[in-house]
Structure 1
Amino acid sequence: MSDEDDDSAAESDGTAGSDEPTDATPDTLNDRLDGVEPDLDAAETEADLDDVEAILDAVAADLEDTDLPVPDDEDEEDPGEALESRVSDLRDDLEAHRGPYAEDVTDAIESASATLTGTRWTDQGGPAVADAVAAFADEVDEVLGTDIADDVDADTDEDVDADDDGADAPADPETLATTLDDAVAAVADADLDPDDDAEPIAALLEATDDLEAGLEDAQEWDDLEVNEQLMAEGFYDVLGHYKDFPPELSALKEWETRGRVDMVLLAKDSLQSEFMQGHCMDALIRMANPDAFEELHQLAQRRNKKAIKALGRMGAGADEAVETLIEYVDADSDPGLQKVTFRALGEIGSEEATQALANKLEMDNDNVRPYAARALGLIGDGRAIDPLAETLESDGVETVRAAAAWALRQIGTRDALEAAAAYTDERSYLVQHEADLAADALDDGDADADAEAPTA
């Protein structure tokens, strides 16, 4: 065939590699795609499907090289987009006609193996898993003529001890996974052809479906096993005639009463219901036990508000959490987080937080500013006197000014008390009340000083 003949043939089937625009039109491209559909339906082998794919590739190439008209009316269908959509749909149909392949079988087996080894099975679920793997091995042996099932039986007899009833315990997941690895190797060695071996491949895929269903039905480590674990740890030993339901709540309350933070943490780690998690966190808040610091600090680093509250209740025992909590001081988008953080920092009492909290006396949210003022009062750092006094003088919100006066009273130095006592004639009752208490504290201090002064 001459070069001209080659070019003519390439041009006719749309495989020409030229960058020049083709003479294709929406009608001619659609006509070519019309011919693809019956070819796709008639395809019986992978080679037939490859031929159809080559035609689609040629149409797609011509479509990309063709400058199709763009409609002026936005409501009118764009021929280019319509053709691209049609090519895409035909490619999806093409892929649906392909296979199944041996690789589909091995992929499914490997997925089941990952489930097998990555799941914690209950005492009841273990035998069910072993049965599912054994049934799958039998099916593979029947289809491929292998002896995988014999190998797994031998492994079970050799590696697994008898259970309490004298019966052989099921093989462990790692041993069963080895059986599945052998199945993968057997399928690969069989070199199954998607055309010539369509029936064996389909039978193996059906067997993998049964395997996956068996694993799905087998019982995993669930609440029953959690209860058994708690029982082994002695969590239920404190129960007598309990009134609360579930019994875990009664046990939790008793361990809290006994100050056993380890048992409360055990319940928190084991009982994942929202109900019990809430009660466990509430118990840790009330206990304020430094033994729970590490667990609570980790939760606080994830912005858990109850954990932050519990750290605050620990006071100085949670001093190592101050750096973490200071990071949340500027979280203006989460006022709830700020409120619980300010209070916790105040209760912990570290002067490291003074400046960060003092800066928040000027924040926009007048529902949060009082928390910053009160936190400064709890810390008691004298450096907060001036910003608190300025807040008391100039803030436009009564509750904020009252909180500043309260904080000055908590700091309790003469300078702080005098700054608060200057507002005894204030029209605001809340502010006047704090000012009166500050004035009384000054008078008491003067009286004590007079009493201690030596007489002439």
Structure 2
Amino acid sequence: MSEDGANGDDETAAEEEHEEPSVDLEATENRLEAFESDLETLETDLEAAETEDDLDVVEADLESFRTDLEAVEIPDPPETDDEDEDDEDDEPAVEEQLQDRHDEIEGDLSDLEDDLEDQRGPYAEDVVGEIDGVGSTITGTRWTVEGDEELIDAVDAFLADANDLLGSDVSTAGDLEPASGAELGEKGDEEGNVPERLSETLEEVTAAVEAADLDPDDDAETIAALLEATDDFESAVDDATEWTDLEVREQLRREGFYDVLDHVKDFPPEWHALKVHEKRGNVDQILLAYESLDSDFMEEHCLEALERMGPEEAIDPMLQQANRRNQDAMCILGKIGVADDDVVDTLLDYVDSNPDLQKPAFRALGEIGTEEAVQPIANQLAEDNPDVRSWAARALGLIGDTRAIDPLADVLEDDEEDRVRASAAWALNRIGTEAALEVVAEYADDRAYLVQAEAERANLEPAA
């Protein structure tokens, strides 16, 4: 045998030695079917789990399931010629279909793992952590004398709830009073330091929680009630008057913000005044509070009031916030519903953005009803994310432009996600012309119930 021939045989042998073993695709498909069935069983087990021990069992099963799933090997699809790749009518290779099923199973598994974590607890240590966090806020902030008074009231209210739930008798010191000094906000000696002494009281509460040895199963209601009380306590502390708040409150007083109240000692007075101003339609006062108060709690309630009212006076400040990617401001602009050029342009900037910004932008543009948004939003019907396609379809329905009928009809016919198709059917019904209703009416026997329901509506509604 020639040297070349020997080398050739050696190379062939080496290639065969390193060649990946063939994978039985039919066996792989059967394994994936078994995984899908097992996943349904795990979902049922999770729904039936009532105790932490039950959840531990499900968690172990999920971990074992993931290990087995990750061990499944799916080969790459065979290489194809460029001409074959251009043929859109060709079905995906078997390997690609199996990989898609594998990915879908893995995604469902991740959802179950998240659901399991959500189903756990709550735990006593969660309560302790929340109380410690509020205590750190109290000691780490400089308060006014008024703020000290509000902190004492807030702690007393929290202690009433905690003692009732724990059967404890923790209380604040009887001689606890806001410190006074030559300068407002100056603290006295250690004995008169309200935040430090309140923090010591809260340490007694955490000790009582730990001593109660609360079980996450047997005492779940007690733990949940303690967390709710702690949330209320945290909100009260957040709204107590800090040293830096003093100037703001004086400004609000000068602007007449508190004039709607008989007195300003209701807790917290800003929230009470805000509700009165909303009832009276005093948009300027709500905007003043929103711009002046450095409080997440008050900002949230100001925005909620503006969204309920939808006043045109709020366009400029909400437009400024929308330009800073504020989703609440986008929603308010939609509720206002004025097709101002600057508003529309700002919202259109988010149409091809990330989903967190697309959702409020789509909705706002739909509520405004601007025809300028039809084509940019219609382009999003081809996005990979089904949520984006669904939001886009509904926004087109809100706008009501007949140019959206054909692309919505295509979604209804071709989209793989039934919830997206249902959104398209809803949008066509919302457009309501004879042509739009005729498209939806053809799906009375559709595989998806929500689409069937929209088809029934289409057959009942008169054309616009």
Please tell me the TM-score bracket, short chain as reference: 0.3 to 0.5
* Higher Cα Rg, which structure: 1
Q: TM-score, normalised by structure 1?
A: 0.47
Q: TM-score, normalised by structure 2?
A: 0.46
